[in-house]
Amino acid sequence: MTPLRRFFSLSLFFLLVESLFFSSAKGQDVAFELVHFFEIPAPHLVDWGSNRLLFVADSQANLKTFDIEGKEIQFLSSQSRILPTLLSAQNHIRPFLFYQEAQRYAFLNRQLTEIEDYPLSDFEAQNSGNLGLVRLLAPALDNGLWAIDESDFSLKKVYLDIKNLTVSTPLAPFLKGEALEVEQLQAYQNMVFLGLKSGRVLVFDNLGNFKKEIQAGRFSFFGEEMIFIESERNALIWQNLYTNAKKEIVFPAARKILFAFQSENDLILVGKQLVWIYSLQK
């Protein structure tokens, strides 16, 4: 029996009995019950779309979507084999990819066809300031884009269509001597979250003003909570963005979680080869 088949056999057993529990802020027990799991190609980047599809950019630079049952829905084959640096499916009508190596971004349509492909070298702001070498680029909550500019260590907001730059915030005062190793960039609820490799998340408002710092691993959002992975304990943590109240679930070391997302009724956990789907028991 191969290791993967053995893993599937063990997982099938746990599928019958496994539930996850944590206590809510109101003291009520909340349970997630494992309902099924499925295999995916080795994930490079993953995001959960607002259309309840899982977007997976694999290690071959292909992009696939899967429904909640694990059925492959769409497939985009990469021609360049350049791995994307950021994948965003918050707006499933216009999924977004950024390629740091190529210094370009692409918006896709629902069929994963590129509808907008823009090399950043073409951008020259009509007002003061420009973009240098962009480390990360992510959609803003309006028509703009948030950029991490390595050339001057800054957070910038740009409107590439009208060639306008509206925000430029120096990041050096908040790095505490660290290198600018940014792994995540996401706009959410009128805030911008910048995730550093060191496990610090810098939070700014939509005008680029620094608000606070959160200690967190790879994160996603649901409602008023940030959901993140604490890799050392293999724990999944929910932290309220406004009250800082926390709740958590610790997983066995054998089930290494790389990405985690929550929807209204589901908890989606992504490992190196498998996706586990839990259903919220109300």
Q: For residue 201, what pLDDT band results from cuts at 50, 70 and 90? A: very high
Burial of 112 (0-12, 13-18, 19+ CB in 10 A): middle
> pLDDT tens-digit profile of 228-276?
999 888 899 999 999 999 998 888 877 889 999 999 889 999 999 899 9
DSSP class of 251: P
- Among 12-26, 189-203, 206-220, 248-262, which is the least confidently predicted range? 12-26
Pair 203, 213: CB distance under 8 Å? yes
25-39, 99-113, 195-209: least confident range: 25-39
Q: Residue 222 — very low, low, confident or very high, per pLDDT cuts 50/70/90?
A: very high
What are the respective helix, strand and coil percentages of the chain, to the nearest 5? Answer: 5, 50, 45
CA torsion sign for 259, 262, 263, 265 is: positive
Confidence at residue 114, expressed as pLDDT on a 0 to 100 scale: 84
Task: Read off the pLDDT of residues 7-61 as tens digits, 9 standing for 90 and up.
Answer: 444 444 344 345 555 544 344 456 778 888 999 989 999 999 988 999 999 999 9
